[in-house]
Structure 1
């Protein structure tokens, strides 16, 4: 952790080089809830500015409006920062670090913005991170996200944990024809997931987890990553969803939504799938044997469902599987010896099922297995 005074020196050093200063990173410092420095508006040559988790406390108004050369702006303030202020070193004695107590954390920074019109002039932005910035007041306006629509070069937009309420402002984002990543998880969004998102053909990663959305998941074949977990009113019919191809999909996180049906064999048409998380979804039926086609699968989490049948012997074909967790289901029968043919397996949790027989001894010889949970 850099001392606040040293951080100020870094800033002043950069401001003395106004004509050429293009990159400024003061992230994870401790400015002790001070205001954003007004002088930062003079750094008009900046293309990269990172003030994330630096313990500022302020309302964002016009502090960044002059920084029209910016390509990347990160003002996130939602990470816990370890308090390392007790670390000391003696320069006269034999080198030795004294870490003191490192178990405490510094409080979050507190940035907010009553509207985001200050973004309108930053038309060169490609990466915008406002994670943890309080936008609750701004989102009270129906057109609150309109200033973002002027950022036609934007590739990544991260608005997680911003206290945004209301509907997903899809209509105000359709001008972002280069947008690849959209994160609006951990907010208070209450709409359905709009079908219009399919018009953002460059969109590859979408995260709406931890909101209060409802309805279904529209067909978004361009996606590589889709996370909608912890939206209890979202209803997902996996059979219907995978009746059409999701050929680009590598991550699917639908935990704690309403599924209720079965895992269809057609899931295996998404051959690029690497991570599948579906905890607490009331999934029924068995794990399809055709899961063997998901050769790239590295994580399978199906905890706290109503899955029956046996663990498929065919899972031995998942040579990249690292994490398998199916605790609290209704699986029956023996643990197949074929599990020993999963050389990448690091984590295996089979607890709270109706499995019988013995754990195959060869399981204990898996070269990378570090965590094993089964009933006695």
Structure 2
């Protein structure tokens, strides 16, 4: 789910990543500068408190110039340490299966030494994929005021998100995505100070007590991505004036909202390219307001309670690359209108109450790579459609995944 969404909007994320990671310094490869002794000592103290079973930090200390150490990026002019890229190289988002023992061998554990505060020019800190054993995110990180990028996702932290992070007013990216759901926040008032924030990912952080989540995020006009999947949110405001009008990605999946309707303010987000509302309790017809989101490339409404025919206006979303309407109560036949969705690479209509025959026009969707039509009451085998395609061999030659089991 999250992995697919990130693939669809890779260009958005990379553009921001280049900006926030000071890419021009990475290209310099640190070859012409020497690090400062104070910063070298700070890194050595940081290493002492990190448990490193794979020896990823073996270069730390072997060379007097810390700008040549693994994961350390220095400013090419001043020699100051500006980036620490210490994420687990076996990242689960890369789309490949990774044995848990191999992943565990590559993570850091232990604790983060406050010597990090001696890196006065640090802009980028990435510790994703570590295992810090449930300790709290260090409060002192809120004093690294130069940070623009902070990624502590899937790093084994626990407890309260320290409100001191609100002091990082230069942040463009904050990723605290927590797979273990051991991290929580009682409110998000601290977040309102991060006025430069563009990407926010608090997925699986327990926000059940943070009733101010919408009011606070709505004060951040620079936001381009909001990821709040599985945050135990229960209520959505139905109507509101939205200030994050530049939003491209909104992920509110897996929250099981008590609201039966998709709130109207979402339909005002005309810049959205990705909308994920899967695993919630929305019901009734697909609201007409969704038609305003004509730039969508990713739409995931999987596992809700929508109960209607698939509306004809949906076939006007010609930019859609990913469409998942699976595990709802959509009924009626599969329309010829799907032939208009020529950009589709993934289509899931499974486990609905759709009946009848798959139209011949489905075979003309030349970009489709994955189709899931299982659990339906269809009267015609899709293989016939593939052979009868108006563009012979078009879909058949590109298809990577087909699940077709008639109910």
TM norm structure 1: 0.77
Displacement after TM superposition at 1:312 (Å): 2.4
1:114 alignment counterpart: 136
CA contact (8 A) 1:60 1:112 kept: no
- Note if 1:74 corresponds to 2:104: no
Give the alignment of 1:147-158 within 5 angstroms.
147-158=164-175
2:290 alignment counterpart: 267
- Note if 1:48 corresponds to 2:83: yes
Displacement after TM superposition at 1:9 (Å): 3.6
Counterparts of 2:268 and 2:281 in 1: how far apart (Å)?
21
What stretches of structure 2 of length at least 5 have no aligned partner? Answer: 1-51, 73-78, 89-105, 388-392
- Note if 1:174 corresponds to 2:192: yes
What are the Cα deviations for residues 134-182 of structure 1, in whole angstroms up to 9, with x where unaligned? Answer: 443344xxxx32x22221211000001162224341x211121211111
- Note if 1:164 corresponds to 2:183: yes
Determine helix, strand or coil for the equivalent of 2:280: coil
1:197 alignment counterpart: 217
* Paired positions, count: 318
Displacement after TM superposition at 1:195 (Å): 2.6
Counterparts of 2:368 and 2:322 in 1: how far apart (Å)?
10
Provide the alpha-carbon RMSD of the alignment.
Answer: 2.6
**Compared with structure 1, are the counterparts of its residues 250 and 313 closer, same or farther at alpha carbon in structure 2 (3 Å cutoff)?**
same
CA contact (8 A) 1:126 1:154 kept: yes
Among candidates 222, 246, 249, match of residue 246 of structure 2: 222
TM norm structure 2: 0.71
What are the Cα deviations for residues 50-81 of structure 1, in whole angstroms up to 9, with x where unaligned? Answer: 22234322233513121121111011225xxx
1:323 alignment counterpart: 346
Displacement after TM superposition at 1:23 (Å): 7.2
Counterparts of 2:314 and 2:196 in 1: how far apart (Å)?
34
CA contact (8 A) 1:124 1:153 kept: yes
2:29 alignment counterpart: none
What stretches of structure 1 of length at least 5 have no aligned partner? Answer: 27-43, 79-108
- Which shifted more, 218-227 or 327-336? 218-227
Counterparts of 1:175 and 1:133 in 2: how far apart (Å)?
24
Determine helix, strand or coil for the equivalent of 1:276: strand
What are the Cα deviations for residues 81-140 of structure 1, in whole angstroms up to 9, with x where unaligned? Answer: xxxxxxxxxxxxxxxxxxxxxxxxxxxx3255435331233111111001133443344x
Instruction: Show structure 1 runs of 4+ deviating over 4 A.
Output: 3-6, 217-220
Give the alignment of 1:10-49 within 5 angstroms.
10-14=59-63, 16-18=64-66, 21=67, 24-25=70-71, 45-49=80-84
2:12 alignment counterpart: none
Counterparts of 2:246 and 2:260 in 1: how far apart (Å)?
19
CA contact (8 A) 1:159 1:185 kept: yes
